[in-house]
């Protein structure tokens, strides 16, 4: 569940100063902030000394606010005074690092301080489209690799291929850059050209590929008919267009009167909570409990199906794996708990929490866990996940052979179920 809230500079600084009495350490998972007017933090970054304590060192629980500021002051001054490479000292990075450490001290990987570039990319992705080249990427051994080229995309039109390695973008080397930093360089306004330095297996030398960026729509939903007249719908994530595309995809598939339906949630990391509830409602009767949300200082909140779904009767199997998380687990768990369909695959990720996203002044954001949710049967998922009704592995050997034993098992279950009627 993602809500947007805007914080003022004073609120941000006050929160950090107050929180430093309670916390102190770092987050990393891909999922941060500089402010234009930030009195307490600016003093620390400028290396200005804070008031001297009247007594000995205070503990983190009883140190007054000015002493916490003084700690940052002292660290800043000592680094500027003693660090062997003064040119490496960057005030913005220090501020971001302090914020990351502050948030990470909670020990919750889902509460995160997200830098402006990352925030922009994440927000854009959740709309269901972006302006860029149309290729998914992965970081392998420190190199940016094109994992998948989207159909009818600028990347496909330019001749880029899966497994191409991107060495540089517009003459800027990607060495040492993160995935999100690299993606930020590749993306850009529709109609502009980006030049990628590509290394490809079978080519002796790297070569430049110019790509004209365009508006690219995510393939959120994929549908097709399988052998045995079984319908197949794959959902990539729960973004702003997911529910609409799932409903349309189901309607198109059901016109072919399938004997069964496979809903593929493998690798789906989640997204908007309400999208999960609405999509679960395509398979469950109106009024059915999808999940219960436990809030910090409020009563629990139930989420139930609000409208009539289009796939209430068709036999159903849901595919899941270790990368099926959050909203995927909401849908899969509700279907399993209400015995609407069988789950096939491997244990899911185990993320049972809800975050609010606070938008900060410089374009960065703070994601804060504000609630935990329970499946209809009352089970918490955090750290555990959902066990499929039928555990079927999908190995690298299967992938290389072009086999999909999980999908095969799903089709087999549906075919057998139809034959028994």
Count of domains for the chain? 3
Same structural domain, 244 and 387: yes
Same structural domain, 261 and 391: yes
In this predicted structure, what is the pLDDT of residue 62? 56
Does this model's pTM top 0.85? no
The catalytic residue among 118, 337, 353, 364 is 337
Same structural domain, 392 and 336: yes
| 116 is a domain residue | no
Q: Tell me the CATH number at 141.
A: 2.30.42.10
**Of 217, 236, 268, which one is at a domain's C-terminal end?**
217
What are the beta bridge partners of residue 226? 230
Same structural domain, 103 and 142: no
Same structural domain, 200 and 242: no
| 118 is a domain residue | no
Q: Is 364 among the catalytic positions? A: no
- Dump the DSSP string for 360-415: PTTS-EEEEEEEEEE-TT--B-TTT----SEE----HHHHHTT--HHHHHHHHHHH
| 123 is a domain residue | no
At 177, list the tokens: 């850059």
**Of 81, 111, 141, which one is at a domain's C-terminal end?**
111
Same structural domain, 212 and 228: no
| 381 is a domain residue | yes
Q: How many whole angstroms separate alpha carbon 181 and alpha carbon 142?
A: 13
Binning the chain into helix, strand and coil, the percentages to the nearest 5 are 30, 25, 45
Same structural domain, 15 and 73: yes
pLDDT digits (tens, 9 = 90+) for 362-374: 899 999 999 999 9
pLDDT digits (tens, 9 = 90+) for 116-167: 988 888 888 888 888 999 998 889 899 999 988 988 999 999 999 999 999 9
| 322 is a domain residue | yes
| 162 is a domain residue | yes
Same structural domain, 228 and 213: no
The catalytic residue among 153, 326, 353, 364 is 326
Q: What is the mean pLDDT of each run of 10 residues along the chain (421 residues)?
A: 41 33 27 24 28 41 65 88 92 88 92 89 84 90 91 94 96 92 92 97 96 90 96 95 96 97 95 95 98 89 96 98 95 98 97 91 93 93 92 92 96 87 65
SS3 30: coil
Residue 267 Ramachandran class (φ > 0 left, ψ -120 to 50 alpha, else beta): left
Same structural domain, 373 and 287: yes
Q: Tell me the CATH number at 243.
A: 3.90.226.10
Q: Is 337 among the catalytic positions? A: yes
Same structural domain, 288 and 400: yes
What is the Cα 148 distance to its own chain's centre? 18
**Of 177, 192, 217, which one is at a domain's C-terminal end?**
217
Q: Which domain holds residue 391?
A: 221-419
Same structural domain, 161 and 268: no
- Between CA 297 and CA 3, with CA 291 as vertex, the angle to 5 degrees is 55
Q: Is 299 among the catalytic positions? A: no
Greatest C-alpha distance within the chain: 83
Same structural domain, 240 and 382: yes
| 125 is a domain residue | no
- What lies within 8 Å, CB to CB, of 412 at 6+ separation is none
| 117 is a domain residue | no
The catalytic residue among 351, 353, 364, 365 is 351
What is the Cα 101 distance to its own chain's centre? 20
Measured CA distances, 184 to 119, 176, 239, 298 (Å): 11, 14, 20, 39
Strands 353-359 and 4-6: parallel
Residue with tokens 């569940």: 1
């Amino acid at each position: 569940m993602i809500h947007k809230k805007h914080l003022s500079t004073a609120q941000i600084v006050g929160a950090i100063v107050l929180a430093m009495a309670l916390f102190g350490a770092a987050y990393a998972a891909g999922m941060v902030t500089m402010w234009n007017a930030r009195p307490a933090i600016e003093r620390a970054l400028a290396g200005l000394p804070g008031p001297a304590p009247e007594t000995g060192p205070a503990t983190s629980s009883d140190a007054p606010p000015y002493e916490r500021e003084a700690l940052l002051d002292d660290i800043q001054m000592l680094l500027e005074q003693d660090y062997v490479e003064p040119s490496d000292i960057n005030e913005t990075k220090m501020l971001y690092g302090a914020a990351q450490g502050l948030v990470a001290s909670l020990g919750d990987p889902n509460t995160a301080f997200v830098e402006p570039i990352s925030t922009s990319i994440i927000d854009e992705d959740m709309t269901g489209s972006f302006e860029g080249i149309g290729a998914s990427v992965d970081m392998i051994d420190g190199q940016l690799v094109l994992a998948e080229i989207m159909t009818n995309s600028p990347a496909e039109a330019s001749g880029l291929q899966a497994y191409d390695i991107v060495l540089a973008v517009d003459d800027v080397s990607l060495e040492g850059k993160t995935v999100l930093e690299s993606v930020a360089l590749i993306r850009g306004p529709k109609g502009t050209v980006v030049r990628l330095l590509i290394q490809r297996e079978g080519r002796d030398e790297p070569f430049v590929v110019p790509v004209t960026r365009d508006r690219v729509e995510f393939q959120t939903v994929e549908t097709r008919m399988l052998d045995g007249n079984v319908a197949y719908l794959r959902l990539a994530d729960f973004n702003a267009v997911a529910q609409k595309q799932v409903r349309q995809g189901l309607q198109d598939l059901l016109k072919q009167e399938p004997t069964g339906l496979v809903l593929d949630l493998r690798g789906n990391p989640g997204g908007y909570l309400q999208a999960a509830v609405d999509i679960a409602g395509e398979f469950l009767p109106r009024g059915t409990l999808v999940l219960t949300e436990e809030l910090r200082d409020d009563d629990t909140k139930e989420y139930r199906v609000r409208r009539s779904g289009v796939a209430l009767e068709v036999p159903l199997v849901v595919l899941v794996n270790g990368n099926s998380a959050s909203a995927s687990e909401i849908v899969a768990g509700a279907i399993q708990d209400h015995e609407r369909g069988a789950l096939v695959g491997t244990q899911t990720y185990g993320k049972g929490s809800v975050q609010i996203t606070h938008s900060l002044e410089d374009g960065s954001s703070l994601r804060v866990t504000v609630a935990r949710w329970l499946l209809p049967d009352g089970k918490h998922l955090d750290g555990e996940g959902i066990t499929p009704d039928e555990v079927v592995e999908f190995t690298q050997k299967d992938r290389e052979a072009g086999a999909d034993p999980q999908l095969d098992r799903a089709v087999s279950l549906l075919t057998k179920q139809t034959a028994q009627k």
